[in-house]
Structure 1
């Protein structure tokens, strides 16, 4: 054991943060029914479904962030 509580000696906080980010992203993707059920059986179709799901997640996060309206409109 290291001196940082109950963490093992080889604990890397950066690896833990990245793994958590990957797990949260996969969990968010599973919220899309077509991704969760693997509706597209062919690889290229499934890749397209996942790509669209990721774009929707990124847009949703972008629109809901503070100040997004200023950045969305190029005329303001």
Structure 2
């Protein structure tokens, strides 16, 4: 399991869920099935572990500085070439 926001290289997966680590953002994409069996329980526990680590890191000191410094990417509008 990754340590959230620790580096720009870490990656992990839970079922079909991909977790990509970054120093400014953690990207979670895909889907995961939580079934009523041992495998589902293991995936649910892994999700909880990830969520707990994310929350702990965000609640840690200095988070406000990191949150304000991470700005969303800017976009430019262009004319639709198919119009």
Structure with more of its chain in helix, by fraction: 1
| TM-score of the pair, normalised by structure 1 | 0.38
- Higher Cα radius of gyration: 1
| TM-score of the pair, normalised by structure 2 | 0.35
